[in-house]
Amino acid sequence: MNLVVVGVGVAALAAGGVLWREIRQKHIQTWLWSYLRRDWAQAQAPAGETRHLLFCFVDHFEPGYQQPGLEVERRRVARWRQEYPALCAGLSDSDGRPPVHSFFYPEEEYRPEHLDALVELCRMGLGEIEVHLHHHHDTEAGLREKLRRFTTVLADRHDALPRDPQTGQLRWGFIHGNWALDNAHPRGDGYCCGVNNELIVLREEGCYADFTFPAAPDPCQPPTINQIYYAKDDPDAPRSHDRGRRVTVGGQPWGDLMLIQGPLGFNMSSRKFGLIPRIENADVRTSCPPTPDRVDAWVKMGIQVEGRPEWVFVKVHTHGTQERDTDTLLGQPMREAFEHMQRHYNDGSRWQLHYVSAREMYNIAKAAEAGERGNPNAYRDYILPRPGYGATATAS
């Protein structure tokens, strides 16, 4: 009996050691306490009230990934232009809208012909274009110059960004390259960023919200998870977005920038070594396809504007031009995910489904903050209008 007890104890210690190494290697300790508290979704929708699923797919869309040459870049973009309309054919949400893909295009990879192809998808009502940026050892002045140059081109050459109706300023959503928002990489020395007052710069230059996170298992992942919140910049320190104030019904804007996060937690149905649940980080690719159980897990996370639990925000992400993943993103796995949402979250009574762009998700969050309620479809253009993309957009 004593040998059995000793054996069990040794096995438990070994398992504990494996678990702790996994936690440390994937930086889970950064956000684990927030996950265990589940402090982002304490409120539940009133019984019998229709819940609304707001589904947003953001894409770190990088045709120049690994510098493959112009012909490969063209093929990558052409696949999206040719195959995305076919993927979406016959699909629609409760508002009669097709899926919409938010293309966060990198400033440093700009080619007019690639944007022209994406604009064609936007004219069909299948996409919108936002700003992505990889930069290293940068300065405030350098960051401002990059953002101003790129957003001006997106607006003037492609009619791809909205203007604030009150100020006329160009407005855009943002995803930071390498996850290192506000100089967040723990390596320091400006690696993957370099600008400690990045949140201030983004706000002043026209960014309406950041859509970078979740980033786990990357070390840039902040401890705040599964929230829509405001962050206030400390211009002398990095990672000012690690914590902030939640966007709440009846609340006021605070700090410098809104962050809209996607789901982060654990996939209990997939375990490493049969023991350790894998991280669920809302990343969609061939190695982690958008299966029905993952869709259900995203919804159950219950990300919301505090005080409006019947509006459930689900933002997932991908890197859409990497060949290893394109068959998943433009093929049957993604089609089945959309069909699953339409079957299970669009019965018109318990659930209504809304495919939304990043801009529309921001507008709906601001509508909730202002106390609006009912069908969020009414608030897709609540603050920021849809860009023209050089023509009147029509749904596919």
Task: Identify the CATH number of the domain in which residue 118 sits.
Answer: 3.20.20.370
pLDDT value for 271: 63
Indicate whether 191 pLDDT > 60.
yes
Give, as one character, the DSSP assignment of residue 140: H
Residue 64, SS3 per DSSP: coil
Sign of CA dihedral 30, 256, 263, 150: negative
124 inside domain: yes
pLDDT value for 269: 73
Indicate whether 25 pLDDT > 80.
no
Residue 267 binned pLDDT confidence (cut-offs 50, 70, 90): confident
21 inside domain: no
Tokens of residue 368, six digits: 């909730």
Total number of domains constituting the chain = 1
- Among residues 347, 281, 343, 277, the alpha carbon closest in space to that of 315 is found at 281
pLDDT value for 8: 35
| Poorest-pLDDT segment among 9-13, 149-153, 323-327 | 9-13
Q: Which residues, at least 6 apart from 329, have a Cβ–Cβ distance to it below 8 Å?
A: 284, 285, 318, 320
35 inside domain: no
Q: How far is CA 267 from CA 105, 294, 329, in A?
A: 30, 8, 20
Secondary-structure breakdown of the chain: helix, strand, coil percentages, each rounded to the nearest 5: 35, 20, 45
pLDDT value for 109: 98
pLDDT value for 325: 98
Higher pLDDT, 246 or 18: 246
pLDDT value for 24: 67
Amino acid at 60: H
pLDDT value for 278: 87
| Poorest-pLDDT segment among 214-223, 272-281, 352-361 | 272-281
| Helices marked H in 236-371 | 292-300, 323-329, 332-344, 358-369
Higher pLDDT, 7 or 56: 56
Q: Would you say 244 and 231 are in contact if contact means Cβ atoms under 8 Å apart?
A: yes
Segment 295-306 mean pLDDT: 96
Indicate whether 12 pLDDT > 50.
no
Tokens of residue 336, six digits: 């089945």
385 inside domain: no
pLDDT value for 20: 53
Residue 39 binned pLDDT confidence (cut-offs 50, 70, 90): confident
26 inside domain: no
27 inside domain: no
Adjacent-strand bridge partners of 131: 105, 174
Round to whole Å and give the CA distance between 192 and 266.
27
| Poorest-pLDDT segment among 141-150, 270-279, 281-290 | 270-279
Q: Which residue has the tokens 């407005």?
A: 171
The answer for 307, left when phi > 0, alpha when psi is -120 to 50, beta otherwise, is left
386 inside domain: no
pLDDT value for 26: 76
Q: pLDDT of 74-104, one tens digit each?
A: 999 999 999 999 999 999 999 999 999 999 9
pLDDT value for 277: 81
Round to whole Å and give the CA distance between 28 and 264.
11
Residue 24, SS3 per DSSP: helix
Indicate whether 42 pLDDT > 80.
no
351 inside domain: yes
| Poorest-pLDDT segment among 216-225, 259-268, 363-372, 384-393 | 384-393
Q: Percentage of the chain surpassing pLDDT 90?
A: 85
Indicate whether 396 pLDDT > 50.
no
Give, as one character, the DSSP assignment of residue 197: T
pLDDT value for 13: 36
Q: Which domain holds residue 367?
A: 49-379
pLDDT value for 15: 43
Indicate whether 6 pLDDT > 50.
no
Round to whole Å and give the CA distance between 172 and 104.
10
Amino acid at 372: E
Tokens of residue 119, six digits: 């604009």
Indicate whether 3 pLDDT > 90.
no
Q: pLDDT of 142-164, one tens digit each?
A: 999 999 999 999 999 999 999 99
